[in-house]
Structure 1
Amino acid sequence: MTYVRWTAALLAWVVLSVQAVLAAPLQMTLYLDNEARQFLYEANQQILIVLPVPASQDNAVVVAMALDPPLADSTTLLFELDAELYVANGRVVPLGVIAIGLAQQVAAGQIYSFNGQRINGDGDGFEGHVCVYFDAPRNALPVTVGMAGYIYDRAQGKPTQPSPTNFFILQMFQTQIIARTTAQVWVLVGSGISAGSVLPKSILRPVVPTADSAGDALAASSNLQLGRYREVMLGGSNRTSLHYDPAISAFSEGPYPADR
């Protein structure tokens, strides 16, 4: 009997340990040497984090995090993706900033409804997706909804409010199906941008060009500047790292070379 209890306890511990590992935030470390920090400071550049998949309404992306100088030699960022479903204040416009008005913890595979005041659970939905139905009150206007996650500097601790990672315009009495946010991350530098900013995906250029990265000019004037992004895929090994190279004004993979 003692052996059975011990075995059951061991199995329970293993299950809890596996769940804890699976639930652990993804992480990425950014390295900056003196030259990189000086360049970013003098040029008033920020480090920007974008999670491009799934793309938002009208093929836009959202700046999930903006790191302002001064910055440390190394910064470890933690990613807790798809933690909450949010409803934004006001309508989102290109180059605008999403202001979260209401957010609630949700789970993939479930459907939720928004009645104009709160988000309610409505049971099973579409596997691997979060679904939200707008149970609109009389004379309601479309609302902005999306997924938000906690993306933060480990040294500063977890913030009280999540960051939006995508957005969709939800019409009344309709359902939005939102795919899970992938661990694909774009890291770039820029200026004049804050977390929650909405950018047309077409204006962002990768360090390594692709066939669909030609870029389009913005119709409206703006003070923002954007560098080329480095794309990485966060993994369970928690060893993803990048270093900033002023020679290419972009991030490169791994820490700085030992012989630099």
Structure 2
Amino acid sequence: MQLNDLLALLDDKLTPERFKDYAPNGLQVEGRSEVRSIITGVTASQALIDLAVAQRADAILVHHGYFWKNEAAPIVGIKRQRIATLLQHGISLLAYHLPLDAHPELGNNAQLALQLGISGAAPSPAEPLLWQGGWNQSTVQQLAAHVSAVLGREALLLGNGQRRARHVAWCTGGAQGYFEAAIALGVDVFITGEVSEQNLHLAEESGVAFIAAGHHATERYGIKALGEWLGTIQPLDVRFADLYNPV
């Protein structure tokens, strides 16, 4: 299909115009006009680009792209090398950040709930990126072990592990700043990717447990689902690359 048609299809599905984001959503680096094969991944690292080159992909579709707010503008060093490789091989880079976090079916939060088996998953009324749902009333410690097993990465548990985990809130990636909003929802435990020093004190003093399960680990399922969706509606060769990242 044509690159412009691919972009229109993704924009229609993810509605990036609804979000005030930290980086541009959609086409970030323009490559060849016709797209037959796509590599998807969490982050547009040099390793992912090199894999796309090796597999002769026409485009890369990611969650974490380039040109972030407050990022230095000059295209030098690592940024230059990445972009130069894309341009040299005619590979387009498409990235969707908050639109992929928030999508009700293909999004990172929706897909994480599916992976973990959380029931009644839905965005919270006040913050669409903060989701909530129900668990099976096992302890928070047992839930943390389940998260570790499903994601293949040891989760960090802060707070009371013996609390019953009936009501769960989560936001994938670097959403540790939403912990207080999760506490205000009256949940038993909050799950995200990353952790900050103050989260320990909030967990201990509020009684709400905190699980840090990894930024990459919690956000690989949305981009994978998006690529699979693309492959079912268009005659495209779409391959997901889960490159190792312990963070």
Instruction: Pick the TM interval, shorter chain.
Output: under 0.3
User: Which structure is higher in strand share?
Assistant: 1
Which gives a bigger RCO, structure 1 or 2 (Cα 8 Å, sep 6+)? Answer: 1
User: Which structure is higher in helix share?
Assistant: 2
TM-score, length of structure 1 as denominator length? 0.22
Structure (1 or 2) with the larger CA radius of gyration: 1
